[in-house]
Every structure is written in structure tokens, then in C-alpha cells.
């Protein structure tokens, strides 16, 4: 394969290049250039692996789902018109880990009785930061037995939240009614590797409106070129925006963008929403990334969103 040949050629040339640099500039200089060179090799290898994954996704959608219809430029523009991101009366703050696992949310936390955390995995620093602000987290993740951090403000359940495909799955409606406080505003943080669309579609507007702040990591956006996925994602964003405004978006540097209809589309996008009744004024943001944003994957380049995504 082309990427494999390119990678092997780079590996073969590596020693020759390093020796030449050593002779010309000394060992320390050569070492620093070697690190940069290895970084470039990793980027190229990873880029081609992502392309292979993208091809697998396309095969899945075009065969198993019989989804042959592509999204038109007009439809894609219709979706992007929903993406208006605002500065509001609540300044953004960053909670959670440096890099992946950290999120920007509006500083409007007083009175929130609990954070509903869907998708815990191995990083609970976001929830720990909420705990330091006296906000407990009610957590759900069927892929682990417990969070990696012990905290008295963590209430954990080993279940998946999503479509009811097995007994280990719960609908968000049921989870909220059974596990959350009856009264008071909630917060939602959701990173469930692709099930987020189904969760939002199946949740009533009444339940969604209990959340003051929502932060969601949306996956598989590189499939927006397919009408099947486009319709699903459009319906999700349209539903949330009935009662919320976008206050921040950040592309996860997990993978490179695809260019479709002259629009760069990131595969994973983190979006923060604030309920409209909490907003007293708003101004359209002028540029991204935000000063508090950090790359999810430190060794990969930042993805700069085209202005069509937020203006």
C-alpha cells in the first residue's frame, strides 16, 4: 500500500539524515531534529490509517445500511446555518484534564444540583473539578466497573445510556427519573462514542430542558456526506437549539478533517450549549479556537474550524 511504502522509505532514510545532521550541527541539534522527523513520520502513518478507517465507514453505510444518497451542498449549508456560537453574560471556564477530557463551559454553575455524566472511561477529572465546586456527578458507563478516582460526590452506575439494545442499556429518560434529584437544574456531559444522536432523539424536550448546561462530544461527523447520517445529526442539533444556544465548539484533534463540498468537516466535535433562559445578552463570536482551548492529542496539529461552522 502507498502509505506503507512511504513509511518504510522514511524509516530507511532516517539514519542517513540523522548522521548528516550530526556531522553538520552536533549531537544535540541532531537529536532535536530526530524528534521532529519521527513526529512527521507518525503524522503521515496516522493520517493514512484514518483514511482506511474512513473507507471502512463508507463501506458500512453504503452496503449494510444501503445508504447511497449523498448530502447536497444546499443541505450541508442548511446545517451550518444552525451553527451560530455566542459569547454571553456567562464567561467560559475550563474544567477537567489538560488536553483530552477538558471542556469549556459557561460559568453559570451556582444552583446546579447534579451533573449527569454519560461515558466515564478512564478520566474523571472534569467531574472532580465539579466536585470542588460542590456539584455531584451521577455517572453511567457500562464499559467499566468503577471510576478511576474515588470521590464522595461520585454516584456511579455500570450501565450504558442509549438505545435499548440489551438489558445493560437504559434510556436517558429512565436514568434521570430513577437516579437524579427530583428538583433543580441539572448539567449534562456526554461522550458515548456515537450513541449521542440516539440519546437526544429519544429524550423528550421536557427532560432536556432540565439541563442548564449541556456538553456533548459528537462522533462520526465525517459521515455527514451521507444523507442518512446528515438527517439524523440535523434533527439532533435542531432539537437542542429549541431551548439552548451554542456557546462553544471545539474540534477534537483525534483525526484530520475531510473536505466535502469545499467544507472541512472534523470527525469529532465538542459542543457546549447553554439554556436560553440563562442568557441576558449574546454576541456572535468572531474567531476560534478560544484562548482556553487545548489540543486533545498533544502530538497532533490543532484543527482550525472554517468560519462557516460558527458565524
Residues 46 and 178 in one domain: no
CA distance 14 to 19: 9
**What number is the average pLDDT over the span 126-154?**
94
**What number is the average pLDDT over the span 195-208?**
94
Residues 146 and 260 in one domain: yes
CA distance 260 to 226: 11
- The closest alpha carbon to 149, from 190, 214, 96, 211, belongs to 96
Q: How many beta carbons lie within 10 A of that of residue 74, not counting itself?
A: 8
CA distance 301 to 43: 9
**What number is the average pLDDT over the span 229-243?**
96
Residues 81 and 193 in one domain: yes
Domain assignment present for residue 245? The answer is yes
- Report how many domains make up the chain: 2
pLDDT recorded at residue 212? 98
Q: What's the domain range around 113?
A: 73-309
pLDDT band of residue 19 (cuts 50, 70, 90) is low
Domain assignment present for residue 149? The answer is yes
- The closest alpha carbon to 178, from 186, 167, 170, belongs to 170
Domain assignment present for residue 39? The answer is yes
Q: Which of 49-53, 140-144, 281-285 has the highest mean pLDDT?
A: 281-285
Residues 192 and 283 in one domain: yes
**Peptide bond before 173: cis, by omega within 30 degrees of 0?**
no
Residues 59 and 83 in one domain: no
Residues 216 and 145 in one domain: yes
Domain assignment present for residue 92? The answer is yes
- The closest alpha carbon to 161, from 127, 128, 133, 198, belongs to 198
Check whether 26 has a pLDDT greater than 80: no
What residues are paired with 270 via a beta bridge? 217, 250
Residues 13 and 96 in one domain: no
Residues 194 and 274 in one domain: yes
pLDDT recorded at residue 125? 92
Please report the beta strands in the chain, taking only residues with DSSP state E, as ranges in sequence order: 86-88, 92-96, 102-106, 112-118, 136-140, 154-157, 160-161, 169-170, 185-190, 211-218, 244-251, 258-260, 263-265, 269-275, 282-284
- Number of residues assigned to the chain: 311
**What element of type H or E holds 297?**
none
Residues 44 and 138 in one domain: no
Residues 19 and 138 in one domain: no
CATH number of the domain where residue 98 is located: 3.40.50
Residues 202 and 305 in one domain: yes
CA distance 8 to 255: 22
Helix axes 73-80, 227-240, angle to 10 degrees: 20
CB of 118 closer than 8 Å to CB of 202: no
Domain assignment present for residue 215? The answer is yes
Domain assignment present for residue 196? The answer is yes
Q: For the chain, give the mean pLDDT.
A: 84
Domain assignment present for residue 68? The answer is no
More confident residue, 90 or 144: 90
**What number is the average pLDDT over the span 111-126?**
93
Check whether 22 has a pLDDT greater than 80: no
- The closest alpha carbon to 250, from 223, 227, 221, belongs to 221
More confident residue, 270 or 300: 270
pLDDT digits (tens, 9 = 90+) for 71-95: 999 999 999 999 999 999 999 999 9
The x, y and z cell numbers of residue 174, run together, are 429512565
Residues 125 and 252 in one domain: yes
Check whether 35 has a pLDDT greater than 90: no
Domain assignment present for residue 130? The answer is yes
Dihedral of CA atoms 218, 83, 307, 40 in degrees, nearest 10, equals 0
CA distance 308 to 218: 18
pTM of the model: 0.80
The x, y and z cell numbers of residue 233, run together, are 445529526
Amino acid at each position: 500500500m502507498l502509505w506503507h511504502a512511504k513509511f518504510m522509505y522514511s524509516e530507511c532514510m532516517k539514519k542517513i539524515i540523522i548522521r548528516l545532521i550530526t556531522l553538520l550541527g552536533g549531537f544535540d541539534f541532531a537529536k532535536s531534529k530526530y524528534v521532529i522527523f519521527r513526529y512527521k513520520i507518525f503524522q503521515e502513518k496516522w493520517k493514512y490509517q484514518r483514511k482506511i478507517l474512513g473507507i471502512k465507514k463508507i463501506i458500512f453505510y453504503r452496503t449494510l445500511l444501503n445508504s447511497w444518497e449523498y448530502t447536497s451542498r444546499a443541505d450541508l449549508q442548511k446545517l451550518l446555518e444552525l451553527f451560530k456560537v455566542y459569547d454571553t453574560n456567562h464567561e467560559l471556564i475550563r474544567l477537567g484534564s489538560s488536553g483530552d477530557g477538558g471542556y469549556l463551559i459557561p460559568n453559570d454553575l451556582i444552583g446546579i444540583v447534579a451533573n449527569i455524566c454519560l461515558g466515564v472511561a478512564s478520566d474523571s477529572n472534569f467531574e472532580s473539578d465539579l466536585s470542588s465546586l460542590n456539584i455531584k456527578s451521577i455517572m453511567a458507563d457500562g464499559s467499566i466497573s468503577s471510576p478511576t478516582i474515588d470521590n464522595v460526590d461520585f454516584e456511579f452506575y455500570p450501565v450504558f445510556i442509549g438505545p435499548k439494545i440489551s438489558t445493560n442499556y437504559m434510556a436517558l429518560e429512565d436514568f434521570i427519573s430513577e437516579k437524579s434529584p427530583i428538583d433543580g437544574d441539572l448539567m449534562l456531559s456526554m461522550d458515548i462514542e456515537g450513541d449521542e444522536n440516539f440519546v437526544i432523539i429519544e429524550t423528550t424536550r421536557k427532560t432536556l430542558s432540565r439541563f442548564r448546561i449541556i456538553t456533548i462530544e459528537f462522533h462520526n461527523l465525517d459521515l455527514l456526506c451521507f444523507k442518512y447520517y446528515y438527517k439524523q445529526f440535523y434533527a439532533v442539533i435542531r432539537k437542542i437549539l429549541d431551548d439552548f444556544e451554542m456557546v462553544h465548539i471545539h474540534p477534537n484533534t483525534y483525526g484530520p478533517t475531510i473536505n466535502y463540498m469545499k467544507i472541512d468537516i472534523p470527525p469529532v466535535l465538542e459542543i457546549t450549549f447553554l439554556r436560553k433562559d440563562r442568557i441576558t445578552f449574546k454576541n456572535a463570536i468572531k474567531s476560534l479556537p478560544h484562548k482556553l482551548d487545548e489540543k486533545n492529542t498533544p502530538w497532533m496539529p490543532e484543527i482550525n474550524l472554517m468560519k462557516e461552522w460558527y458565524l
